[in-house]
Amino acid sequence: MQNLDKLENYIREEGLTYFIATFGCQMNAHDSEKIEGILTDIGYQKTDSEKTADFIIYNTCCVRENAELKIFGKLGHLKSRKSKNPNFMVALCGCMMQQDVVLNTLKKSYNFVDIIFGTYNIYKLPELLQTRIETGDKIIDIWETHEEIVEDLPSIRKYNFKSCVNIMYGCNNFCTYCIVPYVRGRERSREITDIINQVQNLANDGVKEIMLLGQNVNSYSNSFASLLKSIENINGIERIRFMTPHPKDFSDELIEVIANSKKICKSIHLPVQSGSTNILNKMNRVYTKEDYLTLVDKIKRAIPDITLTTDIIVGFPGETAEDFNETLDVVKKVGYLSAFTFIYSKRTGTPAATMKNQVDEDTIKKRFNTLVETLDDISAEFMHKQIGKLYKILLEEVSKNDKQVLSGRTDSGILVHVKAPENLIGQFVDVTIIDAKTHYLTGQLY
Ligand code: 5AD
Ligand code: SF4
């Protein structure tokens, strides 16, 4: 470990600020909290003003092409800032950086970027900064893998009453459309004692809700179900969520643990991706439409008040009108509370990118709109049925549209707006539902 005194003195003397923008999933959002912790530790001050920050970090995502294009677009605006501010620096990190094609483009067309690092070496950021400042060289530090998991990184939490906790990193599933296994590496689980200690410390700190994170949480080490049982025993934690389970690994034991738990939220995000067995097969999802529906039935029978959400990809290569109808059929049979819907995006290096019969854009757009309408109808109907019901919600933040309104979530993950004073943020309250929209409810303090 380098001595960082010089770096820290420089940052503090100049009063340097940083701005971080995060793209993509919860995993990235959580990585950004770690980056914030590291930068705060070495003296940087956070700013929400991208225009005035001395140090700009983009934590990137490469799951879909759009996310990548956005980054290149944003970068284009930064170059001229260098001549105006001698301290100005730009760093790029995250999944996008783990791809050679991206690195080549950056070297060729965006060579003003100061530091590029990847998904495995976030904890090295202070050393990379120091080297950049001392030598004046541009730094590119991308690792191909990292076997060991680095524990105890500082982290700045966005909320003081809820927090994400990584339980595993990487993915071994190689769904044929997905770039994640190539940029996040093979599955690595954290030690159970490290996880339990972290959750205990969070609980001591006043955290009430935790979200366990992993690309495929139910293949956690020996048993995800037993990890959940251990976390259940930690006093102070009142709600446990997790993301993302893979349907193929959703065991009966896991269903039982959720059903019997007082803390595990009765909402499961269960990515289906497609309702067609034919497409699921080409996606390498390792379950059929019937397997998925059987699993959903089993879950619903064991946990009657469960809500389900999902991820769906429209326009996977070779998807026919019939395949798409199978997806609509699953959507109707399951009755999802909500879904993340994606237009298939070709990712170079994945098997699907070279598959025949890529679906044309117009057809995809039509299917996408039909899917969203179907999902919205189901959600609206469900939401309207909640009027008059009593819910316990955890109030999370001031609503963006109305300063007198706070938004919170039910155990089952439904967004509820309620008129309430700001000092109730972080508290559980009982509310009666008085109105419903497609994607949120309005409640009244009980
Ligand atoms: N195109 C579209 N959607 C994708 N996802 C992953 N890869 C792609 C891709 N190439 C979606 C999947 C996954 C979610 C995180 O992103 O639905 O569950
Ligand atoms: Fe990608 Fe499939 Fe792994 Fe999810 S399970 S990260 S979709 S490869």
Mean pLDDT, the chain, as a whole number? 94
Q: What angle do CA 180, 278, 359 make, to 5 degrees?
A: 70
Q: Is 333 left (phi over 0), alpha (psi -120 to 50) or beta?
A: alpha
What SS3 state is found at 342?
strand
Q: Which atom of ligand 2 is nearest to the CA of 216?
A: 5
Q: What is the pLDDT of residue 5?
A: 87
Q: What angle do CA 37, 188, 123 make, to 5 degrees?
A: 25
Ligand nearest the Cα atom of residue 217? 2
Give tens-digit pLDDT for 41-66.
Answer: 999 999 999 999 999 999 999 999 99
Q: What is the pLDDT of residue 82?
A: 87
DSSP string, 218-271: GG-SS-HHHHHHHHHTSTT--EEEEE---GGG--HHHHHHHHH-SSB-SEEE--
Q: What is the pLDDT of residue 3?
A: 78
Give the residue, by CA position, lying nearest to ligand 2 atom 2: 175
Give tens-digit pLDDT for 339-377.
Answer: 999 999 999 999 999 999 999 999 999 999 999 999 999
Pair of tokens at residue 223: 């048993």
Using an 8 Å Cβ cutoff, are 112 and 78 in contact? yes
Among residues 371, 183, 366, 199, the alpha carbon closest in space to that of 273 is found at 371
Distance CA 210, CA 9 (A): 36
Cα torsion angle, 207, 413, 254, 257, sign: positive
pTM of the prediction? 0.92
Give tens-digit pLDDT for 123-154.
Answer: 999 999 999 998 988 999 988 877 777 777 77
Q: Which atom of ligand 2 is nearest to the CA of 244?
A: 4
What SS3 state is found at 111?
coil
Distance CA 224, CA 231 (A): 11
Using an 8 Å Cβ cutoff, are 328 and 377 in contact? no
Q: Which uninterrupted H or E stretch holds 91?
A: strand 89-94
Q: What is the pLDDT of residue 2?
A: 64
Non-local CB neighbours of 391 within 8 Å, separated by 6+ positions = 410, 411, 414, 416, 430, 431, 433, 441, 443
Give tens-digit pLDDT for 224-272.
Answer: 999 999 999 999 999 999 999 999 999 999 999 999 999 999 999 999 9
Ligand nearest the Cα atom of residue 24? 1
C-alpha pair distances (Å), 163 with each of 159, 212, 220: 7, 9, 19
Q: What is the pLDDT of residue 155?
A: 81
Pair of tokens at residue 23: 């793209």
CA 61 and chain centroid, separation:
10
Q: How many A from CA of 26 to the centre of ligand 1?
A: 14
Long-range contacts made by residues 417-420, C-beta under 8 angstroms, separation at least 24? 417/441, 417/442, 417/443, 418/393, 418/442, 418/443, 418/444, 418/445, 419/444, 419/445, 420/395, 420/445
Cα torsion angle, 156, 157, 160, 165, sign: negative
Q: Which atom of ligand 1 is nearest to the CA of 343?
A: 2
Q: What is the pLDDT of residue 221?
A: 87
Average pLDDT (170-181) is 95
Average pLDDT (333-342) is 97
Q: Which atom of ligand 1 is nearest to the CA of 352?
A: 10
Give tens-digit pLDDT for 198-227.
Answer: 999 999 999 999 999 999 999 998 899 999
State whether the beta carbon of 344 lies less than 6 angstroms from ligand 1: yes
Percentage of residues in the chain with pLDDT exceeding 90? 88
State whether the beta carbon of 17 lies less than 6 angstroms from ligand 2: no
Percentage of residues in the chain with pLDDT exceeding 70? 99
Q: What is the pLDDT of residue 103?
A: 93
Residue 1 has pLDDT above 60, yes or no: no
